[in-house]
Structure 1
């Protein structure tokens, strides 16, 4: 079923519908499609007739399931980034160096990045719930090992296990959010998950400082175990798998149906149709979403899963039929799509600013003229977290609202590039934050300059720009959401690995002042590259449309397995 390439009469000029271009708002209120509560935002994707479709769940249930995943992601982010304030203590106790502590951070991100590539196909084959449960078990084992650390080797082993167990945070939790939320809610969901990542990364060290300063650093591990065990119980008895297979070419069929309705409205046929109510689909309400019953649907209502079925660790009934290897290799085919590579590059550099703070805060604030205690060093992260919260609202709720307004101005049509206009604010604020943090520390300015302004500004920019740069490629290439996320998050982690390996010798060689100015320039160049897609993003989508159409075939990539068999 093909989409119309151009539409003339409806919009007064040619309008080209490329991948990512969708009708988001029913500006006339006359379209017979499933819409949000306010009645004019079109639901993408449309909820199916299958009673097990997560998009048919009530808003309360969707929010609860998302909350479980959010807290799980928060805890795993805490586990992989909590130890920053302890570096000076461990350097003394274990007779090691700050360089080795930087290596341990890089090792965690290395296994996080590699783990993404293996966790994603496993989750799509066996269910996301399986991966969440298994990874919780792995991190519990890792925390037990960490509590008995006697040298840097134990900590390196913990970092490996923490990286593997946190891998779903960088792929499956984002896919879970797309299972539970519609397109007009997507940036809010992504920004919430990014907040979980940064909240764990920055509030974890705050707790670490107080715990280590009062009852000893081993309790940083014990307390995590105390939290993870009941969390695992909650996952087993309360979490539901959100994997759901939707009809192929669903979005194309929806757009084609909308175009047909628009033509009917313009020609007056809609008025005749309204005089025949028997032809209109019956509307039934499920939760907060109106869903049209459709007896011709290929996804007719099925028997709801029983409580015991929901408790299964493996959920393959809605899983991928493709081979594990095919799912594993498919993200490689996304490399020719510039928007996806751009998203991974921008998000990767946000992690560089995170690593900058994690790897330098103990040395900066634990030394003259600040001479902060371990507790106070950890407390500086509160500023980053506050910035993250403001960034979440800006990059999430505000950007979603802004996008809907842009679509209304564009006769109801959403272009993915509409979101990119919001990148201007985090681009400028992040650059200013890097200067305040680096130069403020170098010139030994009052701690408020580097902590409140520097870390706060960077926190705002990291969470807001991260959500925008992840959602933009996903909207451009909707059918390849899973593959796009894996490639972007793999790139993010590999950039972070390189940065963590190099930051300590870099600052030692060039000095904090010189390194700060280089990072300032990188920040403006990388974040500011959004302008390329703001102006030429639609042209790029037009050029990549043939390749996107080719690799959108779910079986594209299976030929590799067939060749291997031969």
Structure 2
């Protein structure tokens, strides 16, 4: 073959010039991309630092710590001698100091809203064949849409509700969203056609996502003791598992007897009963409570210059969109703990919702059970979920005793919760292999059905451990961290169930369950990595570093303030701001 350069030597300089230009352009493009990524990373980190700084300034002032650089927005120009309101020692209006009965009411009422939310997610699971038959829907891929559109609302809702609850308070978000959840559930019961049903399901899911994002923040507001807070979050997780398990039983028996619409009527009755207590939920978010106290004092004395620290923070649209609503997304993008937890929780959550398509395939097609009896096959999952709670409490006692003995491992943050996920991960994977390999005509249906016990226990232990870990790690941003986890796992729960029927058709029950079990087993290494390297990960996390530094600074100033008060014998719940003119 003739050499091109030999026959036409004049082309060599031209080709070399072209090659050089291409290489130069590629290099410049890479440099520009790298510069843009660095700029974007710096911008994200800058917003996060401002977010943490602003939130902890409010936290400092709420807890009677004066700072020289307390923000003074332009709306207060020309004011002098403003008084920043804060909690007094043992203040009865501080949610940490509420009575046990009042805290119990808040916990039970908020848990009931969570149970409604998760009940609604799988409510039409056994009713879908009857709904599609009435409206003439024959495309199998659409059969999963009533659940997927609901979970699509779970994707977008928490991104708003979680951080907004840290901006405007928990009560308004909780009550407003639950009222809308009730209204959209009514709309589902009266849906005239298939498209309308899917639209209504999206809106009911969006409103139902509020308790999932907000209740963890409410529990953080009420309990400052990590042990007590962890136990209440364990109960919260129990509620998230209770609803989806009861829903197939309701829809299975209603659809075959009194009609599929009664599935939603019963859901509406349960929501209405819950609403009678939910409307009495008090506000639990400290900055909002102090703002209400300051407003009341100004109403009584119009000339009083009394404000809460959060009122002195700017609350414009720019801050809302750049800091508040982007907080969960920033956590997913920049926090390795949040990212890894979200990936694992997303897979487990998606497999849980895939079971609402897989169980009818297994127990109706393989074993010929009726829809109502198939709904009862979810009960072992509930039994497993209940079993996980005493395991959680027992581990708490182990930690408490280990700390009392001064054991070194008990002082590490990761050992407080994460080992429960180390137990739950293998249990969850084993349950999937058990379900897949035992589901065949020669084996009684009770054998794969009992696989639901380790399935439910593993599912709950993974969630209780990792969500508690996120709450403990991110403290005042617990609602945003949990909102990030909720939105991320809901994306998986929307997408993966669409593949359930084709996957089971191609791979068979044993092949499909083995694939899911293998993926779960692979992801179960994440909690072990947290135990091994979690402290190093948090040490390199700019978000955790900033949180820790501000917390230590706040505690130091609290101690100095306490010593000063003890020295001069003064008391009270206000901090006088230095006179300045802005």
TM-score (norm 2): 0.70
Q: Deviations over 1:58-106 (max 9, x none)?
A: 2222111100000111012111211211123233333324421223322
Within 5 A, what are the aligned runs for 1:263-342? 321=313, 322=315, 323-325=319-321, 326-334=323-331, 335-342=333-340
The residue aligned with 1:21 is: none
Q: 1:532 aligns with which of 529, 534, 537?
A: 529
Distance 2:213 2:310 in 1: 16
The residue aligned with 2:40 is: none
Within 5 A, what are the aligned runs for 1:12-51? 49-51=90-92
Which 10-residue stretch deviates more, 320-329 or 167-176?
320-329
Does the C-alpha gap of structure 1 residues 228 and 400 become closer, same or farther in structure 2, counting only changes over 3 Å?
same
The residue aligned with 1:125 is: 167
Unaligned runs of 5+ in 2: 1-86, 298-306, 552-582
Does the C-alpha gap of structure 1 residues 367 and 534 become closer, same or farther in structure 2, counting only changes over 3 Å?
same
Larger radius of gyration: 2
The residue aligned with 2:229 is: 186
Question: Are the aligned partners of 1:353 and 1:458 in contact in 2 as well (CA < 8 Å)?
Answer: no
How far 1:551 moved relative to its partner? Answer: 10
Root-mean-square deviation (CA), in Å? Answer: 3.1
The residue aligned with 2:420 is: 422
Is 1:104 the counterpart of 2:115 in the alignment? no
Q: 2:264 aligns with which of 221, 240, 246?
A: 221
Distance 2:218 2:522 in 1: 32
Q: 2:347 aligns with which of 339, 346, 349?
A: 349
Distance 1:222 1:129 in 2: 26
Unaligned runs of 5+ in 1: 1-45, 248-298, 307-315, 555-566
The residue aligned with 1:481 is: 478
Does the C-alpha gap of structure 1 residues 374 and 170 become closer, same or farther in structure 2, counting only changes over 3 Å?
same
Does the C-alpha gap of structure 1 residues 69 and 53 become closer, same or farther in structure 2, counting only changes over 3 Å?
same
Q: Report the 3-state secondary structure (helix = DSSP H, G, I; strand = E; otherwise coil) of the residue aligned with 2:541.
A: helix
The residue aligned with 1:466 is: 463
Question: Are the aligned partners of 1:107 and 1:156 in contact in 2 as well (CA < 8 Å)?
Answer: yes
Q: 1:156 aligns with which of 181, 188, 198?
A: 198
The residue aligned with 2:490 is: 493
Distance 2:418 2:142 in 1: 39
The residue aligned with 2:563 is: none
The residue aligned with 1:83 is: 124
The residue aligned with 2:515 is: 518
How far 1:200 moved relative to its partner? Answer: 0.3
How far 1:545 moved relative to its partner? Answer: 4.8
Q: 2:385 aligns with which of 383, 388, 396?
A: 388
How far 1:388 moved relative to its partner? Answer: 0.9
How far 1:506 moved relative to its partner? Answer: 2.5
Question: Are the aligned partners of 1:243 and 1:318 in contact in 2 as well (CA < 8 Å)?
Answer: no
Distance 2:484 2:391 in 1: 25
Question: Are the aligned partners of 1:331 and 1:487 in contact in 2 as well (CA < 8 Å)?
Answer: yes
TM-score (norm 1): 0.72
Does the C-alpha gap of structure 1 residues 339 and 399 become closer, same or farther in structure 2, counting only changes over 3 Å?
farther
Is 1:404 the counterpart of 2:447 in the alignment? no
How far 1:547 moved relative to its partner? Answer: 6.4
Q: Deviations over 1:233-289 (max 9, x none)?
A: 3222x3111111399xxxxxxxxxxxxxxxxxxxxxxxxxxxxxxxxxxxxxxxxxx
Distance 2:252 2:286 in 1: 42
How far 1:482 moved relative to its partner? Answer: 2.8
The residue aligned with 2:370 is: 373
How far 1:198 moved relative to its partner? Answer: 1.0
How far 1:374 moved relative to its partner? Answer: 1.9
Q: Deviations over 1:360-387 (max 9, x none)?
A: 212322224x221221111111111111
Q: Report the 3-state secondary structure (helix = DSSP H, G, I; strand = E; otherwise coil) of the residue aligned with 2:286.
A: coil
Does the C-alpha gap of structure 1 residues 477 and 146 become closer, same or farther in structure 2, counting only changes over 3 Å?
closer
Q: Deviations over 1:192-215 (max 9, x none)?
A: 111111100111211222233332
Within 5 A, what are the aligned runs for 1:134-153? 134-153=176-195
Q: Report the 3-state secondary structure (helix = DSSP H, G, I; strand = E; otherwise coil) of the residue aligned with 1:241.
A: coil
Distance 2:244 2:251 in 1: 11
Distance 2:448 2:88 in 1: 48
Distance 1:131 1:440 in 2: 45
Distance 2:273 2:104 in 1: 20
Q: 1:239 aligns with which of 281, 287, 291?
A: 281
Question: Are the aligned partners of 2:162 and 2:210 in contact in 1 as well (CA < 8 Å)?
Answer: yes
Distance 1:178 1:550 in 2: 16
Distance 1:91 1:358 in 2: 16
Aligned positions, number: 446
How far 1:130 moved relative to its partner? Answer: 1.3
Q: Report the 3-state secondary structure (helix = DSSP H, G, I; strand = E; otherwise coil) of the residue aligned with 1:239.
A: coil
Question: Are the aligned partners of 2:169 and 2:288 in contact in 1 as well (CA < 8 Å)?
Answer: no
